[in-house]
């Protein structure tokens, strides 16, 4: 209150901002404009904008454990801490030449950025963005550097990630941030393009681009090494050209099965997470990009790569059948469920809008204007392992 009385401007600001939680907040990335739209899912509305975030192509976002701060990773190597309540940038640093994404540690004190250039992982303090650890992704003779992809947090303040050119999975234990302990798993397969960790934090899976299969690491038993699952799922058939790399995240797991994009095929692969055997493959409209389970695991929503990217399909998880085909518009890039999944927000880049659907009736509930929207990230991610 003393702060509010200090200046008239502050008084006005305080008067306009009643106390509120952040559990129903989120951001929509406007990638070309370098701006975030701040959104509230309860009212399905835009509550503000935060500009000045640089090059946001392929931007991704993780949240502080209190759900107040968004950490935004930009293509230009920018790491920006955004305060959702003050609707302002708290701090912004350029930490690399080219970045792909990041993760936040189990204890919430560290945020890790996965970088393409220079290839490696950098770990920062979430409160100050001070650099805590720098782990270059060197491989081979130690002179080559790989692009880091698919970083996920694991229990024990560990970060797990893959090295694209090297075909390796690294587990960095940052229990002591000053002395990171890195375990390296080599020859895991050709060109891992992204990774995910199961919602229980036990299994890390890296999808392979250079061959048909998934590299699987059991973090409860790392001594057993990396095993191959869905090996040769293409059965030797030539794959189609891939116009957009698929993405993997922990939401691919619905109940006891993981639903995964097949590379270069119009298929979603289903694997059981007990025996890690293929249990089905589901024909879909195009090459899947995001395959995302609704939070209850009953439905799995899929969007597709260029040029079939005007469509979203819904798979009924128990019957493994496509039960709905939607046409949200031109260039669907991302989907995000509300915390308990009654709605899904879908970004439609070339139509400059976000469409909100009811996941039970599939009715389109609302459209929000956004400039070339890409990723949508809600604060529910703050409390989930692997996000």
Partner 1 sequence: MTDFAAKLVLSLLAAGLAAQAPAAPAPAPGRAAQILNMVRQDCGSCHGLTLKGGLGPALLPQTLKGKDALSLKSTILYGRPGTPMPPWKPFLSDAEAEWVVEQLVKGLPDGR
Binding site residues, partner 1, CB under 8 A: 31-32, 55-58, 75-76, 98, 100, 116-117, 147, 164, 191, 193, 209, 241-245, 306-307, 331, 349-350, 372
Farthest-apart Cα atoms in the chain, separation: 72
CB-nearer residue toward partner 1: 86 or 330: 330
Residue 298 and residue 208: Cα distance in Å, rounded? 27
- By beta-carbon proximity to partner 1, the closer residue of 191 and 267 is 191
Q: Do the Cβ atoms of 23 and 39 come closer than 8 Å?
A: no
Q: How many CB atoms lie within 10 A of CB 171?
A: 19
Quickly tell me which residue has 């963005």 as its tokens: 129
**Which CB, 69 or 164, lies closer to partner 1?**
164
Helix (H) or strand (E) holding 2: helix 2-6
Rounded to a whole number of angstroms, the minimum distance from the CB of residue 229 to partner 1 is 22
Which alpha helices (DSSP H) does the chain contain, by range? 2-6, 8-16
Beta carbon nearer to partner 1, 58 or 381: 58
CB of 372 to partner 1, least distance (A): 7
Backbone angles phi, psi at 177, to 5 degrees: -60, -25
By C-beta, is 164 or 203 nearer to partner 1? 164
User: How far out from the chain centre does Cα 99 lie?
Assistant: 13
Give Cα separations from 267 to 259, 323, 334 (angstroms): 10, 15, 18
Our CB check for partner 1 shows the closer of 109 and 249 to be 249
Residues 6 or more apart in contact with residue 152 via CB below 8 angstroms: 103, 159, 160, 161, 195, 196, 197, 204, 250, 386, 387
Q: Which is nearer to partner 1, 3 or 52 (CB)?
A: 52
| CB of 203 vs partner 1, minimal distance in Å | 24
Output the smallest distance, CB 284 to partner 1, in A.
Answer: 19
Phi and psi (nearest 5°) for 118? -70, 140
Q: Tell me whether strands 343-348 and 181-185 are parallel, antiparallel or unpaired.
A: unpaired
Are 313 and 285 in contact, with CB atoms under 8 Å apart?
yes
Contact 257, 279 (CB under 8 A): yes
User: Rounded to the nearest whole angstrom, what is the least distance from the CB of residue 109 to partner 1 in the complex?
Assistant: 29
CB within 8 Å of 295: residues ≥ 6 apart: 337, 339, 340, 341
Q: Which CB, 32 or 385, lies closer to partner 1?
A: 32
- Shortest separation between residue 58's beta carbon and partner 1, angstroms: 6
Tokens of 387: 């996000």
Kindly state the smallest distance separating residue 147's Cβ from partner 1, in Å.
7
CB of 310 to partner 1, least distance (A): 13
Looking at beta carbons only, is 107 or 350 nearer to partner 1? 350
d(CA 323, CA 194): 28
Which of 92, 244 has the CB closer to partner 1? Answer: 244
| Angle, vertex CA 232, rays to CA 231 and CA 233, nearest 5 | 95
Smallest gap from residue 360 Cβ to partner 1 (A): 32
Smallest separation, CB 279 to partner 1 (Å): 28
């Amino acid at each position: 209150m003393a702060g509010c009385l200090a200046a008239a401007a502050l008084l006005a600001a305080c008067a306009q901002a009643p106390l509120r939680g952040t559990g129903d907040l989120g951001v929509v990335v406007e990638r070309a404009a370098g701006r975030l739209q701040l959104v509230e899912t309860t009212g399905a509305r835009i509550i503000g904008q935060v500009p000045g975030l640089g090059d946001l192509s392929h931007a991704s976002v993780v949240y502080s454990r209190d759900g107040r701060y968004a950490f935004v990773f930009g293509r230009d190597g920018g790491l920006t801490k955004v305060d959702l309540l003050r609707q302002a940038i708290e701090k912004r640093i350029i930490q690399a030449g080219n970045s792909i994404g990041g993760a936040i540690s189990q204890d919430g004190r560290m945020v890790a950025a996965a970088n393409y250039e220079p290839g490696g992982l950098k770990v920062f303090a979430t409160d100050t963005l001070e650099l805590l650890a720098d782990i270059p992704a060197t491989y081979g003779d130690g002179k080559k550097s790989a692009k880091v992809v698919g970083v996920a947090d694991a229990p024990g303040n560990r970060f797990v990630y893959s090295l694209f050119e090297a075909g390796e999975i690294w587990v960095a234990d940052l229990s002591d941030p000053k002395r990171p302990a890195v375990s390296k798993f080599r020859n895991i397969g050709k060109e891992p393009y992204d990774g995910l960790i199961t919602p229980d934090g036990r299994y890390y899976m890296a999808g392979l681009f250079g061959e048909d299969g998934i590299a699987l690491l059991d973090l409860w038993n790392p001594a057993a090494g990396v095993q191959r699952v869905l090996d040769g799922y293409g059965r030797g058939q030539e794959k189609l050209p891939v116009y957009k790399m698929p993405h993997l995240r922990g939401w691919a797991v619905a109940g006891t099965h993981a639903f995964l994009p097949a590379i270069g095929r119009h298929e979603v692969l289903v694997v059981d997470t007990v025996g890690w055997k293929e249990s089905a493959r589901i024909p879909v409209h195009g090459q899947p990009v995001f395959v995302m389970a609704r939070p209850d695991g009953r439905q799995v929503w899929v969007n597709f790569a260029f040029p079939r990217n005007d469509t979203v399909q819904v798979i009924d998880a128990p019957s493994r059948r496509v039960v709905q085909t939607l046409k949200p518009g031109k260039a669907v890039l991302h989907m995000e469920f509300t915390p308990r999944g009654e709605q899904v927000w879908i970004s439609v880049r070339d139509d400059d809008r976000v469409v909100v659907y009811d996941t039970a009736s599939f009715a389109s509930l609302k459209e929000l204007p956004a400039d070339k929207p890409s990723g949508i990230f809600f604060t529910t991610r703050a409390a989930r392992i692997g996000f």
